[in-house]
């Protein structure tokens, strides 16, 4: 596989985003192979430690995806997810870590287009960031 293709982990909520991703496939949209999706029941299940560990293990990018606010299959899970994302984003910012390596997007079950759009855009963004230094870092 070509080497400038970044490695992105996507934690997708089962009800909206994962279904949205399926739909993108069904509609034969072009999604970069950079993204490896992992299905969780709710974006609120995404433990900050998953994101952290993925980052420290060398993921060039981590995408958190869930239902739009108000549409959460479990009522409010995505609000929890949002706070957790904001928390990590702030920690990264304060410590001068590359905060763009982590992102949160709302993608509904019908938004195949949006799924394609954000994954492609983010892949480009991460390409610009270059490879995640944690990949080569010995002293972690």
Partner 1 sequence: MAKAIRIKNNVEEGLFEFLKSLLEKEKIKGVFTLKKMDEEGAASYSLITSVDEFKNAVPLFPYMPVNAGKELSNFTLLGKTEEPIAAVLRPCELRAFVELAKRAQGDFENILTVSLSCGGVLDLNTMGEKNQEDLISKYWDSVKKAEVSPNTRETCQFCENFLPLNADITVATVGNKDLDKEFTLFFNTPNAEEFAKEASGSSVSAEIESNEINEFKKKREELKEKYFKETETDENGLKSLINIFAPCLGCHGCSHVCPICYCTLCEFDSKTHEYPTPSLSSDLQKKGGLKVPSGNLLFHLGRMTHMAVSCVSCGMCSDVCPVNIPVATVFSKVGASLQKEFDYFPGKDVEEPAPQGTYKEDEFTKIGEQ
Partner 2 sequence: MNKNIGVYVCECGPNIPERIDIDKVVNEISSMDEVKTVKKYSLMCSNDGKKFLKQEIEKEELTHVVVAACSPKDHENTFMKVCEEAGMNPYLFQIVNIREQCAWMIPDKEEATSKAIQYIQAGIHRVLFHEPLEKKELEINVDALVIGGGISGIEASLSLAGPKRKVHLVEKTDSLGGMAGKLSQILPHQGSKIKSVKEKIEQAKNNENINISTSSEVKEIRGFLGNFEAVIKSTPENGEEKEQEIKTGAVILATGFDLFDLKENPAYGYEKNENIVSALEFEDMINSEKIVLKNGKKPKSVALIHCAGRKEKGYCSKVCCLYNLKFAHYLKDNFPDIDVKELYMDLCLPHKQDQSYFDQAKEKGVEFIRMDEVVKTKSSGDQVEIEYKDNDKTDKLKADMVVVAPAMVPSKDTSHLAELLNLPLDKSGFFKELHEMLDPVATPMEGVYITGCALGPKNIPESMTQSHATSGKILSSLIPGRKIVPEVKVSKIKEELCTGCQTCLSVCFYGAISYDPFKGVSVVNEAICRGCGNCVGSCPSGAIHSKHFTYTQLYQEVLDALR
d(CA 87, CA 135): 23
According to the binding rule CB under 8 A, does residue 29 interact with partner 2? yes
Q: Tell me if 57 contacts partner 2 by CB under 8 A.
A: yes
**CB nearer partner 2, residue 53 or residue 90:** 53
Which residues are at the interface with partner 1 (CB under 8 A)? 48-49, 52-53, 56, 58, 66, 68-70, 76, 78-80, 82-88, 90-98, 104-106, 118, 133-140
Of 131, 91, 55, nearest in space to 64 by CA: 55
Shortest distance (Å) from residue 8 CB to partner 2? 9
CA angle 49, 94, 83 (to 5 degrees): 50
Q: Single out the residue of 7, 17, 108, 123 in contact with partner 2 (rule: CB under 8 A).
A: 7
Q: Is 127 exposed, middle or buried (0-12, 13-18, 19+ CB in 10 A)?
A: middle
Tokens of 117: 């759009």
Minimum CB distance to partner 2, residue 5 (Å): 8
Q: Which of 115, 106, 105 is closest to 21 using CA atoms?
A: 115
Residues in contact with partner 2 by CB under 8 A are 1, 5, 7, 9, 18-19, 21-26, 28-33, 36-42, 44-50, 53-54, 57-59, 73-77, 80-81, 84
């Amino acid at each position: 596989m070509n080497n400038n293709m970044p490695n992105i982990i996507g934690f997708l909520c089962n009800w909206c985003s994962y279904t949205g991703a399926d739909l993108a496939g069904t509609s034969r949209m072009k999604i970069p192979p950079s993204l490896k999706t992992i299905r969780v029941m709710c974006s609120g299940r995404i433990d900050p430690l998953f994101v952290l560990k993925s980052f420290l293990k060398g993921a060039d990018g981590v995408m958190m995806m869930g239902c739009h606010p108000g549409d959460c299959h479990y009522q409010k899970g995505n609000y929890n997810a949002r706070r957790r994302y904001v928390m990590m984003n702030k920690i990264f910012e304060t410590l001068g870590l590359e905060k763009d390596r982590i992102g949160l997007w709302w993608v509904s079950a019908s938004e195949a287009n949006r799924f394609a759009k954000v994954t492609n855009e983010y892949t480009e963004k991460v390409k610009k960031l270059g490879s995640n230094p944690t990949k080569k870092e010995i002293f972690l």
